[in-house]
Every structure is written in C-alpha cells, then in structure tokens.
Amino acid sequence: MNDALIVVNFKTYQEAHGVAAEELAKIMQQIETDARMVAVVSAFDLSSVVSAAPNLEVWTQHLDPIGFGSNTGWLHPETAMARGASGTLINHAEHKVSIEHIAMLLDIIPENFTVCACAADIEEARALSALEPDFVAVEPPELIGGEISVTTADPEIVSGTAIAIREVSQSVGILCGAGVKNGDDVSMAISLGTSGVLLASGVTKVKDPHFALNDLVSKI
C-alpha cells in the first residue's frame, strides 16, 4: 500500500483558502507517511501554497484546454504549471465539463503533469478511463460532503468502478471519494481496488487537521 494516494481538495472553504490554505499545506507537508500526499488548491492560491510547502505535491482544481491568446476568464494550463501546479482535477461534481473538454485538455498537457478526472458513477468512470488520464476518481454526488463514506454507503460503486476501469485500461489509477473521513475509510477504499482517496471536508473543516491526516494514513 506504499503507493497509496491521499488527495485533499481545498475547494473554496474559508478554512482552506488564502493564508489558511498555506497553513493547511504546511501541515500536510509535515505528515510522516509513505503515502503520496496532494493538496488541490484554488488557482488563486497556487503560488503561495507552493512557496509555503515546497515539498508538497500541489494540484489545481480545474483547467481549460486553451493556449495563449484571447481567452478571458479561462484557466490556462501553462500558467498553472508556471505557478507550481503539477496536476489538476477535472470534471469534479461541482464543476462538470464535457468529455470533449477533458480529451482536449489531455492532448495539450505534458506527460509529467497529473490529471485526475472525476466521475459520478461507474459508467462515467468507464468512459473517462478510455481517455487515459492518470487517475479516475469516482464520487457519488449525493455523498459528497456527507458524514458517511462512500466505502460504507456504497462499496459496490467503488469495487464496480475498479473493475470497469481495469476492463478498459491497466494504467489508469483509481480513486474514490465522498464522505471519506478516517483511516478505516482509506483502508477499505484500497481493499475495494483503489489506489487511494479524494477528500475535502474530512481535513479542511476539522478542528485538528494534523490529527485527521495522521488518522487517514494510519492504516496504509
């Protein structure tokens, strides 16, 4: 399990933006674990978080398949990379895009830049895996931000996603998310066939994120 991935989406929570994002990233950087820890931050916070936690892997929350030019309001991949992003989420339940958007994005980014495409269900995960992103993360929208982990509420969608993705690709990494809160949830996710978890409020909104992060990696 040493290759397990713990991805923390900072979203736009008040507890995880601006200076608070920098402080949370510093805490993540301090966790002693063999797991791969990733902070997913607002594009506005990329530079400051990368500077505050230089040894932490940092992704941005969304990118658009555009180059330099007249693209007002869009998020430019090369600018994100210049600000320190080494990966991105795409198609999160809170920011859905078309499959064409994802395909075009994958066509223009370098191979060493990580893309994690989010899926709401098994069929969407299957379709996304055919595009060969680095990871596909299944997150049932109704469980996002809730108190019950997807691994407890709907373990079949996790195991079913793992099977569906492997039917399409042997290289795409598999994540799950929604309601993930503790080490038991992470351990269960991995036992169901994933490489790790994508979570948010289980770290960003707790009183003691250091404790929460240590708990998350405790059974890896």
Distance CA 29, CA 56 (A): 5
Catalytic residue among 123, 139, 167, 210: 139
Distance CA 46, CA 56 (A): 12
Burial class (CB in 10 A: 0-12, 13-18, 19+), 93: middle
Distance CA 50, CA 85 (A): 8
Contact between 117 and 133 under an 8 Å Cβ cutoff? The reply is yes
Q: Which residue's entry shows tokens 């600018």?
A: 79
Catalytic residue among 92, 132, 167, 210: 92
Let me know if 210 is a catalytic residue: no
Let me know if 139 is a catalytic residue: yes
Q: Which stretches does DSSP call E strand in the chain?
A: 5-9, 36-41, 57-60, 87-90, 114-119, 135-138, 173-177, 196-199
Q: Is the dihedral of CA 19, 22, 26, 28 positive or negative?
A: positive
Which tokens hold the place of 177?
């998310």
Quickly list H helices, 109-154.
Answer: 122-129, 150-153
Residues designated as active site:
92, 139
